[in-house]
Amino acid sequence: MRNKNNDGCRDLSLRQTARFLKKHDNYIILTHASPDGDTLGSAFALYYGLKEIGKVACVICPDVIPEKYNYFARPTDHVQRNDATVIAVDVADKRLLGGLQDDFGDIVDLNIDHHISNVRFAKNLYLDADAAATAESMYELLSVMKVNINDVTAKALYTGIATDTGCFKYSNVTAKTHIITSQLYEYNINAPEINRIMFDTKSRKLLELERMVLDASEFHFDGRCILLPVTAEMQEKTGCSGTELEGIAVISRSVEGVVAGVTIKQTDDSEFKISLRTYPPLDASEICKKIGGGGHKGAAGASLTGNLDEVKAKVLGAVEEVMEEAYAGSGTRK
Amino acid sequence: MRNKNNDGCRDLSLRQTARFLKKHDNYIILTHASPDGDTLGSAFALYYGLKEIGKVACVICPDVIPEKYNYFARPTDHVQRNDATVIAVDVADKRLLGGLQDDFGDIVDLNIDHHISNVRFAKNLYLDADAAATAESMYELLSVMKVNINDVTAKALYTGIATDTGCFKYSNVTAKTHIITSQLYEYNINAPEINRIMFDTKSRKLLELERMVLDASEFHFDGRCILLPVTAEMQEKTGCSGTELEGIAVISRSVEGVVAGVTIKQTDDSEFKISLRTYPPLDASEICKKIGGGGHKGAAGASLTGNLDEVKAKVLGAVEEVMEEAYAGSGTRK
């Protein structure tokens, strides 16, 4: 159906992907590292789908699967690596396989993904970049395969869709996202409970970190900029690290009147990682470019060295410069 | 289609409601007091729908319409009260008409609502208690009326549905909710922007209040109970009051491991309002009953007098009692 590209990666249509999955018997399904609800939900939905048609399959995750996904993530089969067909789900780049990259990075037979940035590392690729989540494609795939979907499969798929859309909030949501979700509601998915686990549960240590960060927060430029410092001491005291810190960036982009939300995360004695979220007329990438970083219009980042006060001054200087240009001429906002 | 009840209120079917709306010419559309996205979204969607078929209509809200709804709430027609047909939307009880109750409470010709608790105060009632939002019913009504839906109407309807479902998170969501929403995506609704306004915008004063409340927060019973005091001083210092304080209750029910989230809001010198959110095996109404209050299984409340320490002790005593019963026998949780 689709033409072969000029690289070693063959594009498959949905039907070709379905046929591919029916053809083989033993599958290893890989998720990306730091697994989220979409890679896990898609992987387990595929696993349950393959089991329904008598295949042997296992799900391998480069990292420990967080306990909160236990409502759909369960022990899978044991599969010999040698005679297995290797499938990656929601993995845009083999580097995202983390610790599994060496073993599997170059032998992925089929990749099922929705990232427009997919680097085509697998032998075969089903890519629907219009899908809000890989789980959306997975639902369509299981439907085309006429595989029975059970309640647990539906929970896994719902989790994937809800994760990647911020519970239907983001700009990747389409009419199709809602149609597929309406079909998942035909199963016993207990969506409110999934959403509570995914969106309304905050660890006590993150709450404690938020308290400290808010205590140290600063407003600048008539409330148009909020600055949230996450020092090494705060991270140590609360035990919050890694992806847990992402909760702080959420604050930076949700305060009324703020057009520049700056999170300054200390990564070493005199090293800081800047995360910037902006709203029009500000351009985050423009601001971060001034301090040696880069990114997108609404979200960008940079790395700076110095002490916290020096780093604050550098970031605020860049914000001020771009703010002055952006508001030049609009006397009321200045 | 439906039988007349034995009260003065006649139940209408969707088709009868559509016919009713086509029959008259001048409409006053009423929302409930402290207006939210559903009452406003439904009222304005109805307004735009009636305009499409040549009617004269105005929307009257008992309170000032918050500015954030300006993307769909616009000035409406001027309608003489005497020759107008009065419609209430999303109003379960005439008391919810607030300042409009005296003028309109007893002369509502048609009520369009989705609250199971509707007290049937209007002459005619279209009630779909299975609808997640009145806006869901409004979409169906406009569809049955074959009224043209434009982008602004679709924005209003989306706002209503998103509001009452917590952006598709709550237990009132059904397959139909998602199907209707998928149809609203055919219009230019810019859902991400609506969701940002509705769900991801926090006032600076609420952020400041949150900071104070977190500073004063306490964990009890091995982290299973969080206590959030909102003193009069905090409310005064930040200028937060009324519905703005509801943001605090959200914290009380979202901390990992917490099964009893207590918000203690000072309402006068020695008067406090308790809001309690619980998760199984705790029953919020059971706890609040012990301190003279009541409510539902997952959310209940009470009023207490005394100083803050006394009130805290009373609430914690009630929580402890019910907790002991609930965990009796389950040695691992105790």
Same domain, A163 and A242: no
Give me the residue label for tokens 């000035």: B75
From A147, A170, A199, the end of a domain falls on A199
Q: Which of B191, B210, B256 has the CB atom closest to A204's CB atom? A: B256
- Does the pLDDT value for residue A4 go beyond 60? no
Question: Are B195 and A169 within 8 A, CB to CB?
Answer: yes
Determine, for residues A211 and B214 on separate chains, whether the beta-carbon distance falls below 8 Å: yes
The pLDDT value given to residue B332: 46
- The reply to whether B190 and B266 lie within a common domain is no
Residue A218's beta-bridge partner residues? A227
Residue A74 has pLDDT above 90, yes or no: yes
Instruction: Please write the tens of the pLDDT for every residue from A234-270.
Output: 999 999 987 778 878 888 888 999 999 999 999 999 9
Span B12-27, average pLDDT? 97
Check pLDDT > 80 for residue B90. yes
Residue A41 belongs to a domain: yes
CB contact under 8 A, A167 and B167: yes
Helical (H) or strand (E) element with A25 = none
Closest CA–CA distance from residue A151 to any residue of chain B (Å): 15
Tokens standing for A259? Answer: 């057009």
Hey, what amino acid is at A207? L
> Is there a contact between B169 and A215 if contact means CB atoms under 8 Å apart?
no
How many angstroms separate the CA atoms of B301 and B289, rounded?
Answer: 9
B332 is a domain residue: no
Residue A227 parent element (H or E): strand A225-230
Tokens read off for A65: 């699967």
CB neighbours of B174 closer than 8 A, spacing ≥ 6? A185, B130, B132
pLDDT of res. A244: 79
Enumerate residues 6+ apart whose C-beta is below 8 A from A6: none
CATH number of the domain encompassing residue A246: 3.10.310.30
Residue B152: name the closest of B71, B51, B68 by CA.
B71
Verify whether the Cβ–Cβ distance A167 to B170 is below 8 Å: no
What confidence category does residue A334 fall into, taking pLDDT thresholds of 50, 70 and 90? very low
Q: Do B169 and A195 touch (CB under 8 A)?
A: yes
Tokens of A270: 């005199």
Please report residues of B whose CB lies closer than 8 A to that of A165.
none
Task: Look at residue B4 in the predicted model and tell me its pLDDT.
Answer: 53
Q: Which residue, among B157, B183, B185, B228, would best test binding to A if mutated, counting the most A CBs under 10 Å from its CB?
A: B185
Using CB atoms within 10 Å of the CB of residue B24, give its burial: 0 to 12 exposed, 13 to 18 middle, 19+ buried.
Answer: middle
Q: Do B169 and A200 touch (CB under 8 A)?
A: yes
Q: pLDDT tens, B184-239?
A: 999 999 999 999 999 888 889 999 999 999 999 999 999 999 999 999 999 999 99
Q: How far is A55 from chain B (nearest CA, A)?
A: 31
- Short-list B265, B264, B282, CA closest to B321: B282
Same-domain check for residues B47 and B195: yes
CB contact under 8 Å between B204 and A223, yes or no, is yes
Domain stops at, among B199, B222, B238 = B199
Per-residue confidence at B248, pLDDT binned at 50, 70, 90? confident
Looking at the structure, tell me whether residues A174 and A210 fall in a common domain: no
Is B167 within 8 Å of A168 when comparing Cβ atoms? yes
- The residue among A147, A143, A140, A160 whose CA lies nearest residue A44 is A160
Residue pairs spanning A and B at CB distance below 8 A: 112
- Chain B contacts of A219, Cβ < 8 Å? 204
Q: Provide the pLDDT for residue A1.
A: 44
A300 vs A211: CA distance, rounded Å: 25
Is there a contact between A181 and A191 (Cβ–Cβ < 8 Å)? no
- Residue B282 sits in the same domain as residue B189: no
Q: Which residues of A touch B201 (CB under 8 A)?
A: 254-256
From the list A186, A145, A168, A176, the residue with the least C-alpha distance to A45 is A145
Confidence (pLDDT) at B168: 97
Quote the pLDDT of residue A247. Answer: 79
Q: What share of chain B is helix, strand, coil (3-state, %, to 5)?
A: 45, 20, 40
Residue A199's CB is within 10 A of a number of other CB atoms, namely 17
Q: Whats the size of chain B, residue-wise?
A: 334
CA distance A316 to A220: 8
Query: Is A180 inside a domain boundary?
Result: yes
Structural domain includes residue A297: yes
Report the CATH number that the domain containing residue B195 is assigned in CATH. 3.90.1640.10
CA atoms within 13 A on the CB side of A189: 30
Structural domain including B61 reads: 10-199
CB B231 within 8 A of CB B271: no
Q: Do A191 and B173 touch (CB under 8 A)?
A: yes
Residues of chain A with Cβ-Cβ distance to B173 below 8 Å are: 185, 191-192
Rounded alpha-carbon distances, angstroms, from residue A118 to A114, A239, A318, B280:
8, 34, 33, 43
**Residues A81 and A124 occupy one common structural domain:** yes
CA-CA distance, A72 to A86, in Å (whole number)? 21
Contacts of A164 in chain B (CB under 8 A): none
pLDDT for residue A332 is more than 50 = no
Q: Are residues A166 and A243 in the same domain?
A: no
Q: How confident is the model at residue B241 (pLDDT cuts 50, 70, 90)?
A: confident
The arithmetic mean of pLDDT across residues B247-258, rounded, is 87
Q: Is A306 inside any structural domain?
A: yes
B2 part of a folded domain: no
Least confident of A153-157, A159-163, A197-201: A197-201
Reported as type and span, the H/E element at residue B313 is helix B308-327
User: In this structure, are A211 and A179 located in the same domain?
Assistant: no
A95 & A108 share domain: yes
In a domain, B334, yes or no: no
Residues A192 and A262 in one domain: no
pLDDT value at residue B244: 79
Question: Is B330's pLDDT higher than 70?
Answer: no
- A202/B256 CB distance under 8 A: yes
Question: If you average pLDDT over every residue of chain A, what do you get?
Answer: 93
Residue B4, in any domain of the structure: no
Give the model confidence (pLDDT) of A9-31 as tens digits.
Answer: 999 999 999 999 999 999 999 99
pLDDT tens track for A104-132: 999 999 999 999 889 999 999 999 999 99
Opening angle at CA A295, ends A289 and A296, nearest 5: 115
Asked whether residue B95 falls in the same domain as residue B124, the answer is yes
**Same-domain pairing of B229 and B195:** no
Percentage of residues in chain B having pLDDT higher than 90: 83
Q: In this structure, what DSSP letter does residue A202 have?
A: B
CA-wise closest residue to A31 among A89, A75, A112, A74: A89
Q: Using the predicted structure, report yes or no on whether residue B109 has a pLDDT greater than 80.
A: yes
Q: In angstroms, rounded to a whole number, what is the distance separating the alpha carbons of residues B318 and A238? A: 30
Chain A, nearest residue to B216 by Cα: A211
The total of structural domains in chain B comes to 2
Model confidence at B251: pLDDT above 90:
no
Structure tokens at B286: 């059971």
Chain B residues with a Cβ under 8 Å from any Cβ in chain A:
167-171, 173-179, 181-183, 185-186, 191-192, 195-196, 199-204, 207, 210-211, 214-215, 217, 219, 223, 250-251, 253-257
List the one residue out of B287, B292, B312, B311 whose CA is nearest residue B302: B292
Last residue of a domain, one of A137, A165, A199: A199
